[in-house]
Amino acid sequence: MNNFSKHVAALAATVAVAVVPTMVMAQDDNPLVTVDWLAENLSDPNVRVFEVSVDTGVYERGHIPGAVNLAWHTDLVDTVRRDIVSSEGLEAILQQAGVTEDTTVVLYGDNNNWFAAWGAWVFDIHGIHDVKLLDGGRKLWEAEGLPLDTATPEYAASTIDLPDEAAPLRARLTDVLDVVEGGANVSLVDIRGPKEFSGEIFAPEGVQELSVRAGHIPGAVNFPWGGAVNENGTFKSAEELKAAFAAIGIDGSKPIITYCRIGERSSHTWFVLNRILGYDVRNYDGSWTEYGNAVGVPIENPTGTVWGRI
């Protein structure tokens, strides 16, 4: 039965139609929940909210009541090798948070759901295919003056069992090279800022993870991720997003690979293209820090910035 419902869920995600029967059917076919909906459904035991914020300490000083904190730099990654958390690791987190097969999982975070979207990508890979984002994230919840809590909730542990096999939502360096050198029919979307894309700068000021080459992957189109959100932090409408991406040649007619510098911001665009628009998208989390550091791979560097030259 378990396996069956998982299969159904997997199928449902690929066609972007959720079929898990829960009390909260209302928004089941939507990858987003509104702040109003969440405020009304907070006490529903079948709804579990997770916060994934970039800033340390924002969760503790006030979070959506009942939300569980996920530290992106320890909970959702392998802390030894460069990798996302294992299926067993996420399983343990979900069990501790009391998540079952019937739970509606909602993620939210600061910075326009930047890392929450990355969390959704990780959840989806490991089998929580109907994971949802709170539209507007922390920003809108705070702006609306909705209540925050400072206590850390504790839930009775569940026995959820995640599939061992990862969903095919992740692109590796070889997949990208298949496109660049092998001519695979895949669109590449670079969601970094225009100055990173053009090679004028190596990385935004103050970041530590660097690549020793500037520019972008040949053939990629540039769509800075912030272009997908409104001023209040909510996602733009599906129609607006569809039109904006169509304008740069991304219309869902062929598979897509998104990337950025370390793979987190591009998860946001992965969410937009895959979960909201239903396109076939993989996120390349090695991103520019892997590709731009790889030896002997083709690069486009329009501005010609040279590493180390004064």
Q: Which of 43, 5, 20, 9 is nearest to 123 (CA)?
A: 9
Q: How far is the CB of 150 from another protein (least distance, A)?
A: 6
Q: Of 11, 23, 26, 143, which lies in the binding site for another protein, with binding defined by CB under 8 A?
A: 143
Choose between 23 and 143: whose C-beta lies nearer to another protein: 143
Listed in sequence order, the DSSP H helices in 77-202 are 87-96, 110-125, 137-143, 173-180, 194-198
Give CA–CA dist 15/275, Å, rounded.
Answer: 9
For residue 152, state whether it binds another protein (rule: CB under 8 A).
yes
| Active-site position among 76, 260, 272, 281 | 260
Q: Of 28, 44, 102, 142, which lies in the binding site for another protein, with binding defined by CB under 8 A?
A: 142
Instruction: Give 80-95 as a DSSP string.
Output: TTTEEPPHHHHHHHHH
Q: Footprint of another protein on residues 162-221 (CB under 8 A)?
A: 206, 208
Which stretch, 5-13, 135-143, 169-177, 292-300, contacts another protein (CB under 8 A)?
A: 135-143
Q: Spell out, one character per residue from 237 to 276, where the chain touches another protein: x when CB under 8 A holds, - when not.
A: ----------------------------------------
The torsion angles phi and psi of 250, rounded to 5 degrees, stand at -105, 100
- Distances, alpha carbon 42 to alpha carbons 154, 166, 226, in Å: 15, 30, 28
Q: How far is the CB of 218 from another protein (least distance, A)?
A: 31
Tokens of 272: 């937009």
Q: How far is the CB of 123 from another protein (least distance, A)?
A: 21
Q: Which of 108, 103, 123 is nearest to 5 (CA)?
A: 103
Q: How far is the CB of 268 from another protein (least distance, A)?
A: 20
Q: 218 near 299, Cβ under 8 Å?
A: yes
Active site residue 38: no
Q: Footprint of another protein on residues 14-73 (CB under 8 A)?
A: 56-57, 59-61
Q: Of 78, 154, 164, 209, which lies in the binding site for another protein, with binding defined by CB under 8 A?
A: 154
What is the Rg, in whole angstroms, of the alpha carbon atoms belonging to the chain?
19
Give CA–CA dist 139/154, Å, rounded.
Answer: 25
Q: How far is the CB of 279 from another protein (least distance, A)?
A: 33
Instruction: Find where tokens 């079948």 sit.
Output: 46
Q: Which residues are catalytically annotated?
A: 260
Interface with another protein by CB under 8 A: which residues?
Answer: 56-57, 59-61, 139, 142-143, 150-152, 154, 206, 208
